[in-house]
Chains A and B, each alone.
Chain A
């Protein structure tokens, strides 16, 4: 992602004082990266937009507690990841996630193209797998951090990552083998 994520200190100070214009400027600066983190972790763009909205509500409520010690994007990203993981937990309550994945990844599934690129293969993983892969491989979270945020064990995070990569490799191999 080539978007600049640096914001002036004065803008942060104004946002911390509750200035709505400054808060909107922060929203404009970070809406796309927040949306992309959420979109890669979740299955639907609608969910990703909801998470983006929840994230910024939390940012507005909590920005007074931001100490400007790390990068603001790191702080906002943590909130976004936490919100996305919460959404995944809620979605799992509907108990269809794994079935969805299996159905989508099965050979000759309805509406599933024979050829997929990496982005489409990634989209066919379960939300849990996507979250682990994205947080670990792209955002640079450790397995310990992922496990803590998901309320799972480090082994769970590692096995999800291995399983997800095995599936990605399989789907991309299928692509290569397709006529």
Chain B
């Protein structure tokens, strides 16, 4: 007699099983027992005891944060004086009623981001061997870009609140991080003579 596979049991647990698996599990005591065991395992996993870290890592986090603030006393994450000036201009000197200007600026930073993506694609970072330090830096930058991408996805299209100026700011941050990421990979490529 053919019994449910683990795929079938997981599909039953998720409520996505085939008609055959559902009717078989209804009729087969062995498979019902397997399904019960699966439920129990999942319940036991959820109830595993809470473990506590052996060391307090806050001093290390704090030290890193303070060091970063010392390096960037204005708190901005910019990669060049020109970009910094552009961002400052955007954020500080933007007059009222400049929705159209914001839209143009948004298109510009989006294009800049796309160009950097293409540049990164040409470098083909996945095909290169990096030092641990460079890989960690690249990973950290990719993470921060992912956070911004998540935020951009949440904010949605240009017309959605809170308005294009917020999107411009996020896209500009993304461009800054992309520039740093490309820099990490290009520097490495130049170093190894590729």
The residues of A with any CB-CB pair to B shorter than 8 Å are 1-3, 18, 20, 23-24, 27-28, 31-32, 35-36, 39-40, 45, 48-49, 52-54, 56-58, 60-62, 65, 67, 69, 78-79, 82-83, 86, 90, 118-119, 122, 133-134, 137-138, 158-159, 161-163, 165-166, 168-169, 172
Interface contact A118-B41, CB-CB below 8 Å: yes
Residues in B whose Cβ lies below 8 Å from that of A138: 42, 45-46
Interface contact B6-A31, CB-CB below 8 Å: no
Report the interface size class on chain B.
Answer: 35 or more
Render B130-158 as a binary contact track against A, CB cut-off 8 A, 1 for contact. Answer: 00000100011001101110110010000
| Interface 9-residue window, one of B17-25, B60-68, B87-95, B105-113 | B60-68
Question: Contact check: which of B52, B147, B154 meets A79 at CB < 8 Å?
Answer: B147
Interface contact A118-B53, CB-CB below 8 Å: no
B122 touches A (CB below 8 Å): no
Interface contact A27-B61, CB-CB below 8 Å: yes
Residues in B whose Cβ lies below 8 Å from that of A62: 144, 147
Question: Contact check: which of B50, B54, B61, B151 meets A1 at CB < 8 Å?
Answer: B50
Interface contact A137-B147, CB-CB below 8 Å: no
Task: List which B29-77 residues lie within 8 A (CB) of chain A.
Answer: 34, 37-38, 41-42, 44-46, 48-55, 57-58, 60-62, 64-66, 68-69, 75
15 extra interchain contacts, Cβ-Cβ under 8 A, other than A3-B50, A45-B54? A2-B50, A18-B69, A20-B66, A28-B58, A49-B55, A67-B151, A79-B143, A82-B143, A118-B48, A122-B48, A133-B45, A137-B42, A137-B46, A161-B10, A165-B9
Interface contact A118-B143, CB-CB below 8 Å: no
Name the residue of chain A whose CB is nearest to the CB of B48.
Answer: A119
| Minimum C-beta distance from A93 to chain B (A) | 9
The residues of B with any CB-CB pair to A shorter than 8 Å are 5-7, 9-10, 34, 37-38, 41-42, 44-46, 48-55, 57-58, 60-62, 64-66, 68-69, 75, 135, 139-140, 143-144, 146-148, 150-151, 154, 170
Interface contact A35-B45, CB-CB below 8 Å: no
Tell me what chain A mostly uses at the interface: helix, strand, loop, or mixed: helix
A-B contacts, 9 listed (Cβ < 8 Å): A3-B50, A35-B52, A35-B53, A62-B147, A137-B42, A158-B7, A162-B10, A165-B9, A169-B34
Interface contact A61-B144, CB-CB below 8 Å: yes
Interface contact B10-A82, CB-CB below 8 Å: no
Compute how far the CA of A13 lies from the CA of B114 in the bound complex, rounded to whole angstroms: 33
| Minimum C-beta distance from B62 to chain A (A) | 6
Compute how far the CA of A58 lies from the CA of B148 in the bound complex, rounded to whole angstroms: 12
Question: Contact check: which of A18, A45, A79, A159 meets B75 at CB < 8 Å?
Answer: A18
Residues in A whose Cβ lies below 8 Å from that of B5: 162
| Minimum C-beta distance from B166 to chain A (A) | 10
Closest 10 CB pairs of A and B: A53-B57, A162-B6, A35-B53, A166-B6, A137-B42, A56-B61, A162-B7, A62-B147, A118-B44, A27-B58
